[in-house]
């Protein structure tokens, strides 16, 4: 499985996982302000901007570790564009969903709510 397929599979699995956990998917692959947000979901009354990171293993660290400060800033700018576009002032948070997919029979998903905050 190449990295593009792994990423697309991870995003699909993350969306299914979040829906099973009671979230409503509002938007997939939202692009604006020079960035992209993988999933925008409604979790109860909270709007969550979700970055999905897929890996085959943790050999080189956790998947969430790839969401560094620079990536967080891009996500925050893109989230701001979404909020302005929707004219929304809802309570928001930034989540990361880690998808570990060694093979089709070995999938592990970890949902990190409030994975980071922006000033």
74-103 pLDDT, tens digit per residue, is 999 999 999 999 998 889 999 999 999 887
Quote the pLDDT of residue 52: 97
Quote the pLDDT of residue 15: 98
CATH code, 3-116: 3.40.1350.10
**What is d(CA 45, CA 112) in angstroms, rounded to the nearest whole number?**
18
Quote the pLDDT of residue 119: 65
Query: Among positive and negative, which fits the CA dihedral 107, 108, 113, 117?
Result: negative
Query: Among positive and negative, which fits the CA dihedral 40, 44, 47, 48?
Result: negative
What does DSSP say about strands 106-116 and 35-43: parallel, antiparallel, or unpaired? unpaired
State the pLDDT confidence band at 42, using cuts at 50, 70 and 90: very high
Cβ(17)–Cβ(112) below 8 Å: no
Which candidate, 57, 13, 49, places its Cα nearest to that of 29? 49
Beta strands, E only, 35-90: 35-43, 46-55
Question: pTM for the full model?
Answer: 0.92
* Token output for 109: 């998903």
């Amino acid at each position: 499985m190449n990295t593009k397929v792994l990423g697309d599979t991870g995003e699909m699995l993350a969306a299914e996982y979040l829906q099973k956990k009671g979230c409503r998917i509002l938007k997939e692959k939202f692009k604006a302000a020079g960035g992209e947000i993988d999933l925008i979901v409604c979790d109860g009354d909270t709007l969550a901007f979700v970055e999905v990171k897929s890996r085959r293993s943790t050999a080189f660290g956790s998947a969430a570790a790839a969401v560094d400060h620079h990536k967080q800033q891009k996500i925050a700018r893109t989230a701001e564009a979404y909020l302005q576009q929707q004219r929304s002032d809802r309570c928001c948070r930034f989540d990361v969903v880690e998808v570990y997919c060694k093979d089709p029979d070995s999938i592990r998903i970890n949902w990190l709510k409030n994975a980071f905050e922006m000033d």
